[in-house]
Amino acid sequence: MPKKILVIEDDKFLMKIINKKLSSENYDVIEALDGKQGLDIVKNQKIDLILLDLILPEMDGFEVLANLKSDPELSRIPVIVISNLGEASQIEKALKMGADDYLIKAHFTPAEIVERIEKILKK
Amino acid sequence: MFWKKKKQNNVNHNIGDLTITDYLIDGLLIFDRDNKVVLANPRVEKFFEVRQEDILDKSILHLTRFRSFKPLVTFLGGGIKECYRQDLEIRENFILQVTSVSVMSEGEKISTLVILHDVTRERLSDKMKSEFVTLAAHQLRTPTSAVKWSLQSLMSGDIGDLNTEQKKAIETAYITNDRVISLVRDLLDLAQIEEGKYISKTELTDMEEIIQSIIEENKNISDNRRLRVEFKRSQTPLPKLMLDKEKIKIAIGNIFDNALRYTLAGGKITIACFGSKKQVQVEIKDTGLGIPFNEQERVFTKFFRAENIRRMDTEGTGLGLYIAKNIIEAHEGRIWFDSEENKGTTFYFTIPVKEKFGQFLRGDFY
């Protein structure tokens, strides 16, 4: 069974690229274009890993993260934050809130993101 | 001295008593040898919303009776410490640059001048500028990410194969885009430095460990450019330092990156570490192009790039060493260099052994 990855990202173009890359690596990709939609999906189906953008409409990434981590069931799902916010304070905040990894979009390619996903899923 | 006359007549405000100090655009406070106020010019009255006659002959500690004086008195202390152009927030949206000078006579302090310069507008516009740079850089990141990601999917053949020529063109575009990305990163670092919130968390750190990791991370580059890198560790164990690890890594990385970039194949880079109980010194020596003598003065200024390297390499933002200097100075360290054109450059820096660091923005920063 392919692993299910939920991508919460509001930029449709970036979503398309990451979806293509992940699908080619045999992942089952589920798309959510805002935070609220993303949270609804996690609650209704089994997800293996979440790629989470931070600046999102409806509910921002930090809020999504807080919601996930306050639920004992959902808090087990690994979360990789992908964002263009690169300040140390933000990275620290996300990691403290329970994100497993933090990648600045401009500094990582989709291939490198796949590597990080593999590493975390192997654990 | 010109204020002595004033002191004798301090009660009367006749035109004849007005001295030069009344016309200064800076605030001027003068204390006598017992740290009592002997003069407060009209600017001081305005800055602190007091009347001169209410504070004359009062000792500095006495001034805390006026709320407006509290930050200044806390800053200078009862003994009135000396300082040079330090920013001090007197109240919200009011920042004075404070200079305090002791007047000495025959080895004895006879008086203290405190000069107060209003820099509120300048600091506000600096802040707005930094905020603008931060915002613009963040806005640039989203499109550059999109370009990076799409070029990468083209390059990796995820969306069909390319012929050699097409691949080459895409690679060039990818490298160019990566330059924009690193420029954006430098601009964000710069904006943070100028907002004075650069050093965030400090922890006890082993300097040699940091250097080792930088050398390893750059091994591909040094091997590709056929450069020998030697690390001379300290003969005696070094004390651990209170550092913002990430920032120090950026600082050393920037210096090391220049050595890698501007040393020709076959050259050598030597990094040495040594220290005492009080400080650790690091030297980064290359056998590279060197910095032309007539440009050496400007090495640490923003956007500086030497003539000889601009000709050879169009990359580089001219921000690396400026950022490095600011990071090292924020750790209360010093940085300097020796350089000779076509022979090489050695950068030196020291970091003191300390528990913690004071305010980041100090002295004549801008």
Residue in B96, B107, B57, B103 with CA at minimum distance from that of residue B80: B103
B77, B174: one domain:
no
Does B16 have pLDDT greater than 60? no
Q: Which residues pair with B36 in a beta bridge?
A: B59
- Domains of chain A (ranges, CATH numbers): 4-122 (3.40.50.2300)
Query: What is the tens place of the pLDDT at every residue in B37-86?
Result: 999 999 999 999 999 999 999 999 999 999 999 999 999 988 888 899 98
Query: What is the tens place of the pLDDT at every residue in B264-319?
Result: 999 999 999 998 888 999 999 999 999 999 999 999 988 888 888 887 776 777 88
In chain B, pLDDT over 90 holds for what percent of residues? 51
Contacts of A14 in chain B (CB under 8 A): 145-146, 149
Segment holding B14, helix H or strand E: none
Q: Is residue B8 part of a domain?
A: no
Which of A24, A84, A109 is nearest residue B142 as measured by Cβ atoms? A84
Contacts of B149 in chain A (CB under 8 A): 14, 17-18, 105, 109-110
What sign results for the dihedral spanned by CA atoms B19, B20, B23, B27?
negative
How high is the pLDDT of residue B18? 60
Q: Which domain holds residue B293?
A: 203-365
| CATH code (residue B29) | 3.30.450.20
Which of B149, B201, B246 is nearest residue A17 as measured by Cβ atoms? B149
Q: Is residue B9 part of a domain?
A: no
CA–CA dist B251, A103 (Å, integer):
21
Which of A11, A92, A111 is nearest residue B156 as measured by Cβ atoms? A111
Does A75 have pLDDT greater than 60? yes
For chain B, the 3-state helix, strand and coil shares in percent, each to the nearest 5, are 45, 25, 30
Residues in chain B: 366
B256, B358: one domain:
yes
| Tokens 């030196």, residue located | B348
Does B364 have pLDDT greater than 70? no
| CATH code (residue B339) | 3.30.565.10
B40, B135: one domain:
no
Torsion of CA B298, B303, B309, B313, to 10 degrees: 180
Decide which of B177, B194, B211 is a domain's last residue. Answer: B194
- How many angstroms separate the CA of residue A83 from the nearest CA in chain B? 9
How high is the pLDDT of residue B158? 75
Q: Is residue B142 part of a domain?
A: yes
Decide which of B56, B90, B118 is a domain's last residue. Answer: B118
How high is the pLDDT of residue B332? 87
Give the CA distances from residue B277 to residues B207, B239, B248, B274, B283, in Å, rounded to whole numbers and listed in that order: 14, 6, 20, 11, 18
Chain B nearest-CA residue for A106: B145
Q: Which two tokens stand for residue B142?
A: 């989203």
Residue in B80, B84, B94, B100 with CA at minimum distance from that of residue B46: B94
Tell me if chain B has a CB within 8 Å of the CB of A25.
no
CB pairs under 8 A between A and B: 56
ipTM at complex level:
0.73
How high is the pLDDT of residue B120? 92
Q: Which two tokens stand for residue B97?
A: 């640059």
Helices (H), chain B: 2-8, 42-48, 52-55, 70-76, 120-155, 164-194, 207-217, 219-224, 245-261, 307-312, 320-330
B249, B360: one domain:
yes
Q: Higher-confidence residue: B191 or B14?
A: B191
- Contact: B188, A86; criterion CB under 8 Å: yes
Its pTM stands at 0.62
Instruction: Please enumerate residues of B whose Cβ is less than 8 A from a Cβ of A.
Output: 138, 141-142, 144-146, 148-150, 152-153, 156, 158-159, 181, 184-185, 188, 192, 200-201, 246
B228, B185: one domain:
no
Residue in B289, B339, B298, B341 with CA at minimum distance from that of residue B321: B298
User: What is the DSSP secondary structure assignment for residue B59, as one 8-state letter?
Assistant: B
B107, B141: one domain:
no
Decide which of B136, B160, B194 is a domain's last residue. Answer: B194
- How many angstroms separate the CA of residue A87 from the nearest CA in chain B? 9
Q: How many domains does chain B have?
A: 3
Question: What's the pLDDT band for B125 if we cut at 50, 70, 90?
Answer: confident
B127, B98: one domain:
no
- Contact: A14, B148; criterion CB under 8 Å: no
Chain A nearest-CA residue for B145: A106
Tell me if chain B has a CB within 8 Å of the CB of A111.
yes
Phi/psi for B237 (5° steps) reads -65, 140
- Contact: A86, B201; criterion CB under 8 Å: no
Does B15 have pLDDT greater than 60? no
* Three state DSSP letters for chain A: CCCEEEEECCCHHHHHHHHHHHHHCCCEEEEECCHHHHHHHHHHCCCCEEEECCCCCCCCHHHHHHHHHCCCCHHHCCEEEEECCCCHHHHHHHHHCCCCEEEEHHHCCHHHHHHHHHHHHHC
Tell me if chain B has a CB within 8 Å of the CB of A122.
no
User: What is the DSSP secondary structure assignment for residue B68, as one 8-state letter?
Assistant: G
Contacts of A20 in chain B (CB under 8 A): 153, 158-159
B286, B238: one domain:
yes
B216, B357: one domain:
yes
CA–CA dist B323, B198 (Å, integer):
10
In one-letter notation, the amino acid at residue A85 is L
**What is chain B's mean pLDDT, rounded?**
86
